[in-house]
């Protein structure tokens, strides 16, 4: 008796799955409609300004004209506040541990850069630029002068620039650790890509100021919420360009690797990743620029750095101070942009075919 029922359940299940695949869009639209109706009912039932009964709405249609009806109000604010309160109460120890780890990493980088002699820091930046740019003297000298002029504008800007750079480095490190694996997963699976792409679109659509709110509620004021906001704001370009770089690898190269019996792991690390490195470096470059923009905005929540000087200059109506800090931010952006972009161009020159010799 069990076998016929088991076979029948399998037939029903398979037929339902086929129906679901054929009418996927219809079921999706029906689901959206159900959610919309549920939100309308919820907003009406939880509103304190709703009419005594629904009959009043059907008899009097004045609520359709003029101002928006006060009873038609989605209680999203209450849901978010309750959610964050529950998170803090139940999982506060996790956020505290994350806060301590990030703060330790930040202080480690910051103290190292501050205690190092400033000529040694400039020399380190120059040497890094020299090798990253493929030993280009012009780019190296330009970056060296930009680094020198950050402190030359005002002595306090040197320490502020180091504080800003330390927050950026931790944020970029988190972006690389999370963004590149996500990009690889997107490139290797269409389903994963279809799931992650809307999330990335949402992350890039939300205004940058909004990223500071959850960070403040979970970690309080200071540098840690700035790092979290920087990570969320700056990681999407790196994920997208990693995915794009891997998918743009020539299919003939992949087929050649398959012909030699390469496994998926060997193809990824031996073929796809080296050829995708220029795109990945472009993603790191975009990630760096967006991280700098976010760190400047994060000065509003007590994060120290060059953005703090701009904010103080605007609050005191000191145009000169704000302008000096703004120029220092531009110089820091140029330094970081030249290092990352030059390294990306160097990688592209190494991986590109040598057409001159062919001619």
State whether 45 and 130 are in the same domain.
no
CATH number of the domain enclosing 99: 1.10.3720.10
> Cα torsion for 196, 200, 201, 202, to the nearest 10°?
100
What average pLDDT does range 311-323 have in this prediction? 85
Assess if residue 309 is contained within a domain. Answer: yes
At residue 5, does pLDDT exceed 60? no
pLDDT at 86: 86
Closest CA to 341 of 239, 241, 226: 241
State whether 49 and 131 are in the same domain.
no
Assess if residue 183 is contained within a domain. Answer: yes
Q: pTM of the full predicted structure?
A: 0.79
pLDDT at 257: 86
Q: What are 176's two structure tokens?
A: 């690389």
Confidence category of residue 275, pLDDT binned at 50, 70, 90: confident
Which is higher by pLDDT, 67 or 179? Answer: 179
Number of domains comprising the chain: 2
pLDDT at 355: 40
Q: What are 295's two structure tokens?
A: 């760190």
What average pLDDT does range 222-227 have in this prediction? 86
Confidence category of residue 9, pLDDT binned at 50, 70, 90: low
What average pLDDT does range 58-71 have in this prediction? 74
Provide the domain limits for residue 60: 2-64
What average pLDDT does range 92-116 have in this prediction? 89
Confidence category of residue 359, pLDDT binned at 50, 70, 90: very low
pLDDT at 8: 58
Percent of all residues in the chain with a pLDDT value above 70, rounded to a whole number: 91
Assess if residue 69 is contained within a domain. Answer: no
State whether 342 and 232 are in the same domain.
yes
At residue 356, does pLDDT exceed 50? no
State whether 100 and 60 are in the same domain.
no
At residue 178, does pLDDT exceed 70? yes
Assess if residue 85 is contained within a domain. Answer: no
Assess if residue 123 is contained within a domain. Answer: yes
State whether 136 and 283 are in the same domain.
yes
DSSP for 316-350, please give it. Answer: TT-HHHHHHHHHHHHHHHHHHHHHHHHHHHHHHHH
229-263 tens-digit pLDDT: 888 889 999 999 999 999 988 888 888 888 888 88
What average pLDDT does range 281-295 have in this prediction? 87
pLDDT at 3: 53
pLDDT at 184: 93
pLDDT at 207: 82
pLDDT at 259: 87
State whether 118 and 172 are in the same domain.
yes
Q: Which of 65-69, 80-84, 194-198 has the highest mean pLDDT?
A: 194-198
pLDDT at 2: 46
Mean pLDDT of the chain: 84
Helix 190-205 to helix 155-188 angle (10° resolution) is: 150
Q: Are 307 and 329 in contact (CB under 8 A)?
A: yes
pLDDT at 351: 65
Q: Are 243 and 193 in contact (CB under 8 A)?
A: yes
Percent of all residues in the chain with a pLDDT value above 90, rounded to a whole number: 20
DSSP for 20-88, please give it. Answer: HHHTHHHHHHHHHHHHHHHHHHHHHHH-TT--SSHHHHHH--GGGSSSPPTT----HHHHHHHHHHHHH
What average pLDDT does range 269-291 have in this prediction? 88
pLDDT at 125: 92
């Amino acid at each position: 008796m069990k076998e016929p029922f088991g076979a029948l359940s399998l037939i029903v299940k398979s037929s339902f799955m086929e129906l679901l695949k054929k009418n996927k869009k219809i079921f999706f639209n029906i689901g959206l409609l159900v959610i919309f109706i549920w939100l309308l009912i919820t907003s009406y039932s939880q509103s304190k300004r709703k009419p005594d009964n629904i009959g009043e709405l059907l008899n009097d249609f004045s609520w359709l004209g003029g101002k928006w009806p006060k009873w038609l109000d989605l209680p999203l604010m209450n849901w978010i506040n309750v959610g964050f309160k529950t998170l803090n109460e139940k999982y506060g120890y996790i956020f505290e541990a994350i806060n301590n780890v990030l703060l330790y990493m930040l202080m480690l980088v910051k103290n190292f850069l501050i205690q190092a002699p400033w000529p040694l820091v400039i020399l380190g930046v120059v040497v890094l630029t020299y090798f990253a740019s493929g030993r280009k003297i012009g780019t190296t000298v330009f970056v060296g002068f930009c680094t020198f002029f950050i402190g030359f504008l005002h002595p306090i800007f040197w320490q502020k620039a180091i504080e800003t750079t330390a927050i950026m480095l931790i944020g970029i490190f988190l972006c690389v650790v999370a963004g590149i694996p996500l990009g690889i997963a997107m490139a290797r699976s269409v389903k994963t890509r279809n799931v992650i792409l809307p999330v990335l679109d949402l992350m890039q659509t939300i205004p940058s100021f909004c990223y500071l709110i959850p960070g403040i509620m979970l970690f309080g004021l200071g540098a840690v919420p700035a790092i979290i906001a920087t990570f969320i704001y700056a990681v999407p370009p790196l994920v997208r360009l990693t995915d794009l770089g891997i998918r743009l690898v020539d299919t003939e190269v992949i087929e050649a690797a398959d012909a030699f019996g390469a496994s998926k792991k060997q193809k990824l690390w031996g073929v796809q990743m080296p050829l995708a490195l220029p795109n990945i470096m472009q993603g790191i470059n975009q990630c760096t620029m967006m991280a700098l923009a976010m760190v400047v905005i994060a000065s509003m929540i007590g994060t120290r750095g060059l953005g703090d000087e701009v904010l103080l200059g605007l609050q005191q109506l000191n145009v000169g101070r704000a302008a000096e800090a703004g120029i220092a931010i531009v110089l820091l952006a140029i330094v970081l942009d030249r290092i990352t972009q030059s390294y990306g161009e160097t990688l592209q020159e190494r991986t590109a075919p040598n057409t001159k010799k062919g001619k």
